[in-house]
Structure 1
Amino acid sequence: MPPMKDARLGASTFFASALPHDICGSNGLPLTPNSIKILGRFQILKTVSHPRLCRYVDISRGKHERLIVVAEHYERSLEDFQRAGKPVSQDKVLQVAYEILEGLEFMNKHGMMHRALAPRNVLMDCRGNVKLAKFGLYHMTNHGADVDFPIGYPSYLAPEVIAKGPSRPSDCSHGELPRPSGPKVDVWSLGILLFELCVGRRLLQSFDISERLKFILTLGCMDDIVTVLAEEHGCLDVIKELPENVLTLLRKCLTFQPSRRPTPSELLKDPALQEVSHLYTPFRKPVSLFSSSLRCAYLELPEDISELCQDEGEEYLAERSIEEVYHLWCLAGGDLEKELTNKEIIQSKPPICTLPKLKDVTGEAYYPLLDDEQSSLPQSNSSSELSAAVALPLVIRERDTEYQLLRIVLFDRLLQAYPYKKNQVWKEARVDIPPLLRGLTWAALLGIEGDIQAKYDGIDKDTPIPTDRQIEVDIPRCHQYDELLSSPQGHMKFRRVLKAWVVSHPDLVYWQGLDSLCAPFLYLNFNNEALAYACMSAFIPKYLYNFFLKDNSHVIQEYLTVFSQMIAFHDPELSNHLNEIGFIPDLYAIPWFLTMFTHVFPLHKIFHLWDTLLLGNSSFPFCIGVAILQQLRDRLLANGFNECILLFSDLPEIDIERCVRESINLFCWTPKSATYRQHAQPPKVAGDNNGFGKTPSYYSSDYQDLPKTDLSREPLKLSELKAESSPRISAEDLIDLCELSGSGHCKAPTKKTKSSKPKILAVDIRSSEDFSRGHIPGSINIPYSTAFGPDGELVQCPATSTLQSFRGRVIVIVSHAVMRFAAHLVKVNYPRVCILDGGINKMKFTGLLTVPSPQI
């Protein structure tokens, strides 16, 4: 994204044509409003970047089909030359012609025409170079079909456009799209512009509209239109004094027959323009983050960073992209409709130096250090309170202008250095992710690399397949509250990305819900389908491995069983109640996990949820599910089966920030092996840790990725897994949690808990004799035969008193009858109860068992 430099932010507004309310489409759904269609088509314009074109930044939809477009803007235009009333020099005419044609040629390569060329839309930057404005109006309005006004200015429209007459929205109501203009219409408009520059006056302004159109159409009978125009406007002497090469250029532009008129690309080869072409460096498309081309990030900084900030009057914000500046302007309270209302004009040009709070940010903030030992908290000399902003709620941080500026600058530099700075991207993402760079950051967290566009282009997305019908049915129902995804362009991109995934994964099938799973990636990468596809393709095997098999029943059932065990592990009282009323996860949790909650929550909540989900491993969704249930805990405990069904049919409001916070806490308390699944993703190849390697415990890699040993968990049959209410943990997990190293005692690592008390307790339920022959250090002995009374209550003894003192910590049951003992503890609401996989036999060969010293 190029820096803003001397550009301003400009806004223009117009109305889309309204549709009748009593007409539905062929699918029986209401017609998509034209404003939403325009909003969808606009998105591709944000990706069109060229030195001769004003960047499009944003579009917003207001009431009554009003649309406000934000774009790069400059104060000067060709109208300034017209006001001067003097002919422009030959060199300036050729410069303007060449630069306009450069912009038109680039647009044509993207399938676009300007159709609104006029002096007011040919802007000039501080160096006097051309910047074409409003070049996307014709494209976004579907060649004018979605608005009630004509695209273009009659004085500059080509004869064939005038002859065709205006196209009305009613003409397209039956699916008949207007025939778009070709690139040659802009060449005629350019000819009129250049003619006016040469003679120093406006043309075709003295007639009324009907006379003007008649005059233009009579030009078809003339051999030399340039001479006729000069005679008509009394400037023949000026034209005769023009150099022959300029006259030739004008005659080529003002050729009446379109078949004989050159295109912008052909006109650039004119000898007159070739004389100035050496003054310009050919445009090269910037290298994208994910491509096969080498990138030069220019990340080197001088030893003394203050050398970059010596000019006290320098506007450092002008070095940032116009997209970033607009984003920060909105955070600072910018309101497009309010600006337009207050100024009573259609353009708003707030200079960047007036952005509140940002002009006080020191220059050092724009050049953050990327050393790994630097603090992850953003620092600013201008605000000692900025570091404390990290402790504020996320929604507040995302609206803090200065905080977002620093986070955007930092993440922009880190992403430019990706994948070299992958670990630091992870580190900073744990603090928060700036919304402006969320799409690229997610891609980095998912480990996307390489030439994704080439891979995406190589997938056949056009040949019909059986899944097409189901995709067509599902898309109109997916996140239709969102204007972007509900637009026709959104639907088209949905189809392409989903079909690309189906075609490129022949061993998997399309299941309902895949469209919801695609939605966050498509929204964040609307103009980069290849990146949306790549992110989705990396996300599914990590979190939903084999969920989309044709027969996925065994995968789903194992997943739901582990989830049931997680509910019992963290909240046995709730688990007992739900089991008693028969409200099992099969009734409500399948859409949760099949769509990773995208079917449950709106996009703005999914963004915050997935910011953390993408930092966790494949078992993190279990904790999110438990956290959701705990927010609804009181209502669930108070209701029966029917009420719970109704509750989940229209899920109440969920506090996502609280959900994320509690999910992390639940994950910290869950032993790694407790969520082991036989059907999870197989271990990654050596050296591919996908960025997990140097992260905290709750962001660690999957248990399946760890090397298998004799102490690892063994797979269970699904029937055996369902028979156990508590999860199993591996012997290696027990050793790790107890810090067993032959020291003869069991204690939790101080770094894992703020409490000095042990985090875990091993309960050996073998007989006293067996216990005395060898047991886990620090474990207590509660023989199963004497543990429970006739009513199922725990018999009081010193060992059970110890057990009660550990209530709330992880309790590991060791022996043979562990299932029944664990079930008893869960029944009396003991949380965090789990079973040692393989029992004491797994520990016999570790050399860690201890034998009591004989008493003397």
Structure 2
Amino acid sequence: MRPLKDAQLGAFTFFASALPHDVCGSNGLPLTPNSIKILGRFQILKTITHPRLCQYVDISRGKHERLIVVAEHFERSLSGFQKQGKAASSEKMLQIGYEVLEGLEFMNKHGLVHRALSAHNVLLDCKGNVKLAKFGLYHMTDHGADVDFPIGYPSYLAPEVIAQGCFHPSDPSHDDAPLPSGPKADVWSLGVLLFELCAGRRLLHNIEISERLKFILTLGKNVTYYLLAAIFTLSLQELPENVVELLRKCLTFLPSKRPTPAELLGDPVFNVISCHYTPFQKPISLFASSLRCAHLDLPDDISDLCKEDDDDFLSERAIDEVYHLWCLAGGDMEKELTNKDIIQSKPPVCTLPNFVLEDGESFGQCRDRSFLLDDTTVTLSLCQLKNRLKDVVGEAYYPLLEDEQSALPQSNSSNELSATVTLPLIIRERDTEYQLIRIILFDRLLKAYPYKKNLVWKEARVDIPPLVRGLAWAALLGIEGDIQAKYDSIDKDTPIPTDRQIEVDIPRCHQYDELLSSPEGHSKFRRVLKAWVVSHPDLVYWQGLDSLCAPFLYLNFNHEALAYACMSAFIPKYLYNFFLKDNSHVIQEYLKVFSLMIAFHDPELSNHLNEIRFIPDLYAIPWFLTMFTHVFPLHKIFHLWDTLLLGNSSFPFCIGVAILQQLRDRLLANGFNECILLFSDLPEIDIERCVRESINLFCWTPKSATYRQHAQPLKVAGDNSFGKTASYFSSDYQDMPNPDLSREPLALSDLKEEMSPRVSAADLIDLCELSLSAISKRNRASKPKIVAVDIRNVEDFSRGHISGSINVAFNLAFSPDGELLQCPTTGILQNYRGRVIVVISNAMQTAFSAHLVKVNFPRVCILDGGINKLKPTGLLTVPSPQI
């Protein structure tokens, strides 16, 4: 969106038509309220940006089908000329006419018609340029079908519009809806508007509707004669011939002979004035094939950029940013409208349509005029917001990205901002000053994407501002290129077998959200899902794909191509081959690795769940198939995925374990049936705690412990972990240059027999090196995070072992037939509880590690391939002989 500059934020309200409560649609579901339909159609208006149009910002839905619209606003309008009673000069009239036509033409290119053009909806900025307001009312209300009032003002409506009359779908007297108004209807309205500018006052304003119709229909008989007669009667000055010709073309009675805005812009009458206007060029989007900097043009003297000594830095920010901060600073649209008496509260009894006495006599009230359209626009005061941001210095609005100091700019309240980072995320997201700093920083980083991709990763580890979450996620997923062209090339119209299932799933997917439940939301859902199915012929549609799509569609509601691109990048990274026609082997391997992760981090809980046979197959498939979008509402998914996108394909395992740990006490105290009931209606989960614990689990998990044979082949990427230490534990597992040290595939049947995860020899070497370096760099008393436990007999151990490993001989703890002789955890091993324990041997590793898990020893894993994997490396040491 463009900067706020000298504009203001304005709000106006209206009511949508109420629907009967006892009527259902053809699918058996309740009818979608008209207010939700309007809310869905409104969203595209936020993308319509042009110098001649007031920028739409937001819409909110209140009680009783009330809608409040926020848009760019200016106090001055053409109605000010009429109040002055002076006729506008021909030059001014041509300027206004040309600028109005520019706005109308741009609207027409996007399939929009104003239909509500009038003097008070043609606003003027500080330079006197035209800004068309309320141009989206006709579109968002489905050409007036979703409201009880007509769109437009009778004084300005074209004859063909008035001839159609009012229409409402519930009116049985109308069989078919009239055709929507076309661009030529606005040309007539412009003609009347220019007509009034010539006369210096409003026309047909104090005349009854019937008299207006007579006047308009009379014009149709001989438009030239009556037009000229009216001009010379109502105007005190003689108009140039070109102005008269312009009025004649605008007020042509027959629509077939009336020009469109595009045709009128090319009329010779504007030849002189058009040379002073530069054609509007829409800014290049972040994901496109064109250069985003191609339109930039620096002045010859760079000091010209700094001539204006203005401390109002907030006005340089985008309109949607200012509005977002205004809301955070305590802005309340309903309160603002109530203070101006636009919204009037009444006692409930006074709002009843009618009431009936005992004798059957009915009393009712007249139509409440508050439910009609009051097009008054209330200016939203920014004083409270500016007062909240008064301590933010100017440098904060222009952060230096290469500054190696704190990312938070220095200000009078820098200490408070630094303290804010440590507060819970939900508090940070509601802090006005903190969000301003974060939004500005991310805005600059995203504009420099992909050049500043690493910095986006770095800042995303702190948090992601909700206002830029959609683009930030796209950057974290590595989206690049002309995504719109690719999306447009996909056939989303030809029927396919999956269409029926998609139609069934969409009305059940996150329908508590007003945006996704709107008909526009359903259409976008359908197109994005179908585009994914068509573009991935080797995969199939599984239930749950709609839930995966929901977060991306919500954040990129007006950019389907970006929602599709994000979804297409997300699924291979976290759900590789999950959507194969036969995905049983992929799912079973995934669930088994998840079971091993539970045993690794919480063996007591794992033992209990295994004892009552409450396996992950009974509860975890919807978790991982939808990446938790099926079980959590969107606002929790946003916070969860902010962190998930920083991790790799193993991070969902940690989220699953973190959820179980929040339910740990209840799970340990219950049996199978109680656990089934518990997960059928999942209790409230603290997402911030879940994220925090997931990161801790993620950092404690060796990277090869989550190895899956059916995982995506990995590409070498940048650092995407949660810290330096975590890089050894949390990175996606990749084969080392020496393939002999990597994990070997394990058959699913053999994997199901395991009780502890396996780690590769290469991983063990890395982890041991990390431990040694950690000890050398930190206090000598610091304990390493890993310990290697060699369970071979003493003789074999003395012939060669990993440096720093301890020896707990298996033959001393277990008999040859596997019977426990002495619990190994009662001895020296007890001192290493809490560390990652890697069991090493030639054989019997599984039995030894299984015993450790059964006695609730955490973080136990075994070396894949045993000691034989390490012998060729030359890393085994032999103790020096004692003298």
Q: Does 1:391 align with 2:391?
A: no
Deviates more, 1:779-788 or 1:221-230: 221-230
* CA shift in 2, pair 1:256/1:843, >3 Å: same
Aligned residue type for 2:449: Y
Query: Residue 854 of structure 2 corresponds to which residue in structure 1?
Result: 827
Distance in structure 2 (CA, Å) of the matches to 1:208 and 1:690: 72
Aligned to 1:283: 280
1:536 to 551, 557, 567: 567
Residues 812 and 693 (structure 1), Cα distance of their counterparts in 2 relative to 1, 3 Å cut: closer
Distance 1:693 1:784, change over 3 A: closer
Paired residues for 1:152-301 under 5 Å: 152-171=152-171, 178-224=178-224, 227=227, 230=230, 234-235=233-234, 238=237, 241-296=238-293
**SS of the residue 2:551 aligns to:** helix
Q: CA deviation at 1:173?
A: 12
Shift of 1:850: 1.6
Structure-to-structure mapping, 1:161-560, within 5 angstroms: 161-171=161-171, 178-224=178-224, 227=227, 230=230, 234-235=233-234, 238=237, 241-296=238-293, 313-345=310-342, 346-355=376-385, 356-371=387-402, 373-560=404-591
Residue matched to 1:804: 830
1:628 deviation in Å?
Answer: 0.3
Q: Which residue of 1 aligns with 2:357?
A: none
Equivalent pair of 2:395/2:409 in contact (CA under 8 Å): no
* Offset of residue 380 of structure 1: 2.8
Structure 1, 375-384 or 86-95: larger mean CA deviation: 375-384
Q: CA deviation at 1:781?
A: 1.6
What are structure 1's unaligned runs of at least 5 residues?
none
Change (3 A) 1:727 1:316: same
Deviations 1:312-363 (A, max 9, x none): 7520000001110000000111111011111224433235454231233211
SS at match of 2:739: coil
Q: For 1:854 and 1:809, locate their aligned partners in 2 and report how far apart those are by CA, in whole Å.
A: 30
**3-state SS of 1:333 partner:** coil
* Residue pair 1:3, 1:320 contacting (<8 A) in 2 also: yes
CA 1:229/1:558 → structure 2, altered by over 3 Å: closer, same or farther? farther
* Kept after mapping to 2: 8 A contact 1:87/1:199: yes
1:322–1:360 distance in 2 versus 1, CA, 3 Å: same
- Cα 1:278–1:707 shift into 2, 3 Å: farther
CA 1:396–1:492: 2 relative to 1, 3 Å: same
C-alpha distance after superposition, 1:107-155 (max 9, x if no partner) = 0000010000001100000000000000000000000000000000000
| Alpha carbons 1:485, 1:491 under 8 Å: kept | yes
Q: Which amino acid aligns with 2:152?
A: G
Residue in 2 that maps onto 1:141: 141
**Counterparts of 1:694 and 1:397 in 2: how far apart (Å)?**
20
The aligned counterpart of 1:689 is 717
Letter in 1 for 2:624: F
The CA deviation string for residues 770-829 of structure 1, in whole angstroms up to 9 with x for no partner, is: 1121111222222223225999878367x8532111111111111110111111110000
Cα separation, partners in 2 of 1:708 and 1:460, compared to 1, 3 Å: farther
Equivalent in 776, 779, 783 of residue 757 of structure 1: 783
Give a deviation string over 1:286-312, Cα, whole Å, max 9, x none: 11000001012999999xx99998977
Say whether the 8 Å CA contact 1:137–1:151 is kept in structure 2.
Answer: yes
The aligned counterpart of 2:18 is: 18
1:344/1:705 CA distance change after superposition, 3 Å: farther
Post-superposition offset of 1:536: 0.4
Amino acid at match of 1:514: L
**Distance (Å, rounded) in 2 between the aligned partners of 1:545 and 1:829:** 33
| C-alpha distance 376-308 of structure 1, shift in aligned 2 (>3 A) | farther
Q: Which amino acid in 2 is paired with 1:807? A: R
Q: 1:327 to 1:809 in 2, by over 3 A?
A: same
Once residues 694 and 87 of structure 1 are traced to their aligned partners in structure 2, the CA distance between those partners, rounded to angstroms, is 68
Do structure 1's residue 710 and structure 2's residue 736 form an aligned pair? no
Are the counterparts in 1 of residues 43 and 557 from structure 2 also a CA contact under 8 Å?
yes
1:471 is paired with a residue whose SS is helix
Structure 2 residue identity aligned to 1:421: K
CA displacement, residues 15-39 of structure 1 (integer Å, 9 cap, x when unaligned): 0000001110010000000000000
Which residue is 2:73 aligned to?
73
Q: Secondary structure at the match of 1:849?
A: coil
Change (3 A) 1:691 1:73: farther
Inter-partner Cα distance in structure 1 for 2:303 and 2:639: 36
The answer to whether residue 757 in structure 2 is matched with residue 727 in structure 1 is yes
The gaps in structure 2 that reach 5 residues or longer are 343-375
| TM-score between the two structures when normalised by the length of structure 1 | 0.94
1:33 aligns with 2:30: no
Question: % of aligned pairs identical?
Answer: 78
Contact 1:3–1:319 (CA under 8 A) maintained in structure 2: yes
Corresponding residue of 2:352: none
Amino acid aligned to 2:32: T
* 1:612-651 → structure 2 map (5 Å cutoff): 612-651=643-682
One-letter amino acid matched to 1:655: D
Asked whether the equivalents of residues 115 and 135 of structure 2 are also in contact (C-alpha less than 8 Å), the reply is yes
Is 1:854–2:881 an aligned residue pair? yes
Tell me the secondary structure at the aligned position of residue 750 of structure 2: helix
Q: Secondary structure at the match of 1:761?
A: strand
1:418-460 deviation digits (Å, cap 9, x = unpaired): 1110000100110110110000000000000111101111111
Instruction: Letter of the 1:205 partner, please give it.
Output: H
Q: 1:818 — aligned with what?
A: 845
Q: Which residue of 1 aligns with 2:360?
A: none
CA change 1:614–1:707 in 2 (3 A) is farther
Q: Aligned partners of 2:298, 2:271: CA distance in 1, in Å?
A: 40
- Aligned-pair CA distance for 1:372: 6.0
Q: Retained in 2: the 8 A contact 1:439–1:521? A: yes
Q: Conserved in 2, the CA contact under 8 Å of 1:378 and 1:386?
A: no
Alignment of 1:576-655 (within 5 A): 576-655=607-686
Q: Per the alignment, in what secondary structure is the counterpart of residue 259 of structure 2?
A: coil
Check 1:754–1:177 CA distance in 2 against 1; reply closer, same or farther (3 A cut): farther
Classify 1:652/1:782 alpha carbon distance in 2 versus 1 (closer, same or farther; 3 Å): same
Q: Per-residue deviation at 1:602?
A: 0.4
CA contact (8 A) 2:695 2:722 kept: no
- 1:476-534 superposed Cα distances (whole Å, 9 cap, x missing partner): 00000000000000000000000000011000000000000000000000000000000
Size of the aligned set, in residue pairs, is 843
CA 368–47 in structure 1, closer or farther in 2 if over 3 Å, else same: same
- Contact in 1 for aligned 2:699/2:722 (Cα 8 Å): no
Using the alignment, how far apart are the partners of 2:211 and 2:748 within structure 1? Answer: 85
- Contact 2:628–2:637 (8 Å) recurs in 1: yes
Structure 1 pair 201/29, CA: closer, same or farther in 2 (3 Å)? same
Q: Is the 8 A contact 2:115 2:152 kept in 1?
A: yes
Contact 1:35 1:66 in 2 (8 A): yes
CA RMSD of aligned residues (A): 2.6
Whether 2:777 is the aligned partner of 1:777: answer no
Report what 1:100 is aligned to.
Answer: 100
List per-residue Cα deviations over 1:24-70 (Å, max 9, x = no partner): 00100000000000000000000000000000000000000000000
Shift of the 223–758 alpha-carbon distance from structure 1 to 2, 3 Å rule, reads closer
For 1:702, give the aligned amino acid.
D
CA contact (8 A) 1:761 1:779 kept: yes
CA distance in structure 2 between the aligned counterparts of 1:616 and 1:694, rounded to whole angstroms: 8
Asked whether the equivalents of residues 596 and 621 of structure 1 are also in contact (C-alpha less than 8 Å), the reply is yes
CA contact (8 A) 2:391 2:412 kept: no
- In structure 2, relative to structure 1, the CA distance for the partners of 1:221 and 1:174 (3 Å cut) is closer
Q: Tell me whether 757-766 or 631-640 shows the greater mean CA deviation.
A: 757-766
1:841 has 2:881 as partner: no
